[in-house]
């Protein structure tokens, strides 16, 4: 049976690929973008199967209006894909206040508000699924991406909590965690103004690798989207979905390291309990 999807950030990258794959298989899509013209070719080809709405995730009032309109037009939305976002790179002390505010308003607060304003509609229709596109960067960290990681670790904590709140209403979540993938992510990076102080540090080395193209990208965007759709179609998908060998290896490594570190401090942890029985 065909589904109806709402996808944010559908004008490029994973969002546009997902929109295209879903339309090709006959599903209906409500696609949002900051510029509707970016999806004009698909709109011309698929007609009423695709509805395009303008949305800037930093505008909370607009989020409410777009969500209400989308549900009113579609009647039912089976899957909401919170995909819009971008990367900010630079040592924490070098990124500007404006850059910090914008990346958090888009990646974190915008995603939170999109989810919050969708929940009442999903409850009213008896359930649904939300796919939050996160990143391996929601569980690991690279030097130079501190504010990007803050947004991804933040949205993952939010989703893990909300998933428990709304499970009784038949609403569930998937946190999609791609590793480095062949999209326009690197080209669209917002960069801090470098001072040179970090040139010979790990952050400087990562920056040099990104600029030179040496940063290894194993993930395929088309395959990544297909895996997300497959998970969203499943009856019982995982809360977290690692995508790509880099994501799997990095997340596996850091989880193993954290578990070992936690086990090593067991006695200290237990010593903090009250001694009164």
- The DSSP 8-state label assigned to residue 218 in this structure reads -
Task: Give the residue among 28, 131, 140, 37 at the shortest CA–CA distance from 85.
Answer: 131
Cβ distance 102 to 58 under 8 Å? yes
Active site residue 134: yes
Whether 3 sits among the annotated catalytic residues: the reply is: no
Would you state the structure tokens that stand for residue 104, as one six-digit string?
């958090």
Catalytic pick among 82, 118, 134, 151: 134
What are 170's two structure tokens? 């038949």
Contacts of 116 (CB under 8 A, 6+ apart): none
Catalytic residue among 3, 82, 146, 152: 152
Cβ-Cβ contacts under 8 Å for 50 (sequence gap 6 or more): 19, 23, 28, 29, 31, 39, 42, 43
Strands ordered across the beta sheet of 79-82: 50-54, 28-33, 4-7, 79-82, 128-133, 171-178, 240-243
Residue tagged active-site, from 3, 11, 46, 148: 148
Q: Clarify whether 82 is annotated catalytic.
A: no
Give the largest Cα separation in the chain, rounded: 71
Q: Which residues are catalytic?
A: 134, 148, 152
């Amino acid at each position: 049976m065909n589904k109806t999807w709402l996808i944010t950030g559908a004008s490029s990258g994973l969002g546009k690929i997902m929109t295209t794959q879903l339309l090709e298989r006959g599903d209906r899509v409500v696609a949002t973008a900051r510029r509707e013209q970016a999806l004009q070719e698909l709109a011309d080809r698929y007609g009423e199967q695709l509805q395009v709405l303008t949305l800037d995730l930093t505008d909370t009032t607009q989020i409410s209006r777009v969500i209400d309109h989308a549900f009113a037009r579609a009647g039912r939305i089976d899957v909401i894909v919170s995909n819009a976002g971008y990367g900010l790179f630079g040592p924490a002390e070098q990124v500007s206040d404006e850059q910090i505010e914008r990346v958090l308003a888009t990646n974190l607060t915008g995603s939170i508000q999109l989810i919050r304003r969708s929940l009442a509609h999903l409850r009213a229709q008896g359930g649904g699924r939300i796919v939050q596109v996160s990143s391996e960067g929601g569980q690991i960290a690279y030097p130079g991406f501190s504010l990007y990681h803050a947004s991804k670790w933040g949205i993952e904590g939010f989703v893990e909590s909300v998933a428990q709140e709304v499970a009784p209403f038949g609403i569930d979540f998937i946190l999609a965690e791609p590793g480095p993938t062949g999209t326009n992510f690197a080209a669209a990076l917002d960069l801090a103004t470098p001072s040179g102080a970090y040139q010979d540090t790990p952050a400087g080395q990562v920056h040099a690798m990104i600029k030179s193209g040496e940063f290894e990208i194993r993930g395929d965007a088309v395959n990544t989207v297909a895996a997300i759709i497959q998970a969203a179609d499943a009856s019982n998908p995982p809360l977290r979905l690692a995508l790509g060998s880099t994501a799997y290896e990095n997340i596996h490594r850091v989880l193993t390291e954290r578990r070992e570190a936690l086990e090593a401090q067991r006695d200290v942890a237990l010593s903090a309990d009250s001694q009164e029985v």
